[in-house]
Amino acid sequence: MKTIEFIENLNIEKSVNYRKEKDGENYTELPEFRAGDSINVAVRVIEGEKERIQNFKGIVISTRGSSLNKTFTIRKISNGVGVERVFPVYSPMIQSISVLKSGNVTKAKLYYLRGMSEKKIRQKLS
């Protein structure tokens, strides 16, 4: 098990180094956040040769896993359609994460938001 931990830590380091090298001065450390927070994730999108940044803004509804396998799920409502994306926290494809608003919730998993309208979610989280 020690060997597995070693490899996972090595890969976390590698991912951080990749981001440092890629972004140079723009590099920011990932902030801490939890379920209920509204965050913005800047994701690298590779289209053929070119690379650009795409923003994904929404509410964190769950975080799971540990070490390298840690992921979080963000939900947003886009043109009336609910959209969810799962990101590995240590993915080299994440350029930066910024916390826009911290939520006031008592649960670790906010799956109950899935059945709610935008207005209701706003009331629930404030």
Q: What residues make contact with other proteins under the rule CB under 8 A?
A: 1, 3-4, 6-8, 11, 14-15, 44, 46, 68-69, 88, 90-93
Q: How far is the CB of 125 from other proteins (least distance, A)?
A: 30
**Beta pairing partners, 98:** 40
Query: Which of 67, 81, 70 minimizes the C-alpha distance to 10?
Result: 67
State which residue, 62 or 95, has the beta carbon closest to other proteins.
95
State which residue, 82 or 88, has the beta carbon closest to other proteins.
88
Q: How far is the CB of 7 from other proteins (least distance, A)?
A: 6
Cα 22 to Cα 2, 17, 31, 44, 71, distances in angstroms: 30, 8, 19, 11, 22
**Beta pairing partners, 75:** 59, 84
Q: How far is the CB of 114 from other proteins (least distance, A)?
A: 25
State which residue, 3 or 126, has the beta carbon closest to other proteins.
3
